A and B are shown apart, each in its own frame.
Chain A
Amino acid sequence: MSTTEKPKYYGKRHRLAKPELLAPAGNLEKLKFAIHYGADAVYIGGQKYGLRSNADNFSFEEMREGVEFANRYGAKVFVATNIYAHDEDIAGLEEYLCKLEEVGISAVIVADPAIIETALRCAPGLEVHLSTQQSTLNWQAVKFWKEEGLPRVVLGRETSFAEIAEIKKHVDVEIEAFIHGAMCSSFSGRCVLSNHFTDRDSNRGGCCQSCRWKYDLFEDARSEQEWVSEEDAADQQMLQSFSLGVNQKPLYEEQDSAFSMGSKDLCMLEHIPDLIEVGVDSFKIEGRMKSIHYVATVVNAYRQAIDSYMADPENYVLKPEWLEDINKAANRPLNTGFFYDTPDHEDHIYEAEEKAVPYDFAGLVLDYDEATGIATVQQRNHFKPGQEIEFFGPNQMFFKQTVGQLWDENGNELDAARHPLQKVKMKVDHPVRYFDMMRKNNTKQSKSAVKTAVTV
């Protein structure tokens, strides 16, 4: 499905009243991509109070720039201030929230009532959205938060369609639901594995994903009657078998995979009609730590699905290529979370995880010369003549081609695009424009293709 049609909008996009497509933006560049590829709103992290202490996170200046960029598209920027604060975190909170309001942030996503209360009091221009970290599952709690002054609640990921319908029936409030991406397998906020294993506070952004580690499952074979203390056992020869380790009965066999709490990733792309019909107001994509390629691809697919459904619900059909695109950026198997049923044995990952994403972000289109059909591409991963690549962009722009001759900026021919962020010129089969992306399949191609160090 290649297209030569020129995108109709630039810097402006037809926006639908509802639902909102809400995308993660780990940094300013990702924000621009998420919005350009169709997000109605993005959520970001600031320097403080967010749950992704390892992400780039935005300075106020970057926020200001992000908001300006978003405004050009009629999009909004939210900031996650979703930690559970300790007393030491409270100082500076008011100032921080005021500053967010001042730089033009539309909403904060909050879990801790200390922050909710402060935001409502000090920064009335900010909407306060209840974070999924509160694990809100019932309408009475949703109503409580609405009455506190929150226009939106992000439900716990454990909420089913039937439960969402019930909540919508009882309370007139915006409901936001995660529809795509990685999931905590625990109730959000109700996990301190990281605290115990690594002294990192998960509810303040220190999560080290211990749920995805490998564990062995045992049964304690000691019965209560048999149990004696170590000290007593040491005194009696016949009881020595009760000392450490002897009575751990494994519940796994040699060939079994290890126990893990790791969940498959959520993907609701095939169920857009159900989400819209139940009345979810904001479709949230997870992944502030994910790459530009991932964010652009996922947003692009959902944008098309939502627009297509809204344009003509009766005749809506899921296009297989949307799902194919998602799979090009996905690095975990996908499922539908709790929307239809409680996840079971098919919804967890027990085998070693295949970290590699099937497609690499190879280049970003910076410019295109209509007269010569030559594009200027910023290298994001190694590519060279002869390789099969794909170009894609917003508004269903997509085509495949083979890499032909490559030149550097001065017109010198290149045998490969080897250098991160290097500007490379190449002939393209169809018109492209700034923000279009080039990706290559990394599974079929030569192993010698060295990945560059650029994090995308």
Chain B
Amino acid sequence: MAEALLKVFRGNKDGGQSVEFKVPVAPGMVVLDALHYIQGHLAPDLAVRWNCKAGKCGSCSAEVNGRPRLTCKTRMDSLPQNEPITVIPLKTFPVIKDLVTDVSWNYKVNKKIPPFTPKPGASWKFYQDDVDRVQEFRKCIECFLCQNVCHVLRDHDKYDQFGGPRFFVRVAGLDMHPMDGVSRTKLLKNDLGIGLCNITKCCTEVCPEDIHITDNAIIPLKERVVDEFYDPVLWIVREIRGARET
């Protein structure tokens, strides 16, 4: 049986190193299978977060050969056969142990976002055309690969000024919902720092659910921010309308 050489990060928040493991490769095997083999046969204390092994829970995110991926959706035969396979934890978040990172910062950001708030007196009658867009955003499995690859967090550490692509997707799903009655545009500009995004599309490239994060969520939200804060003509229109209503 063929063997693969895996270089897996072992360590904790104080540091660590890559450790080599030889793993037998079976047809159809994914990287998570290899990690389970290591746990079962070579290093029982290897920490790996996983749950469904079907690409739907978003738990097994890691960096395989330098690319943020779900280990359960990364087939071993899709990787170079004659080179070691490196598996390290998500770089953007603090390591707890081995491949497990502390992603709790994301849940703190999530709390900043006003939840779905129905319009007062809403009739709850809407059409498929109205919800086509938001259904794409509901596919998010919160694997946080987009947060991990986003250079605003990864390289510039803007944790206190920036929400990240995952939460732009969430805001898009709420703001574009036909029955939602709350505007989150000011939140996007001021608290979630959407202006820090320079739309380099890495989030879209790594999304395992193939959500068009940049084109369908971030850019439309940026345009909404422009409507409210940067478009002088719309500002004048709002002022005139406001003056008429008062």
A and B physically associate: no
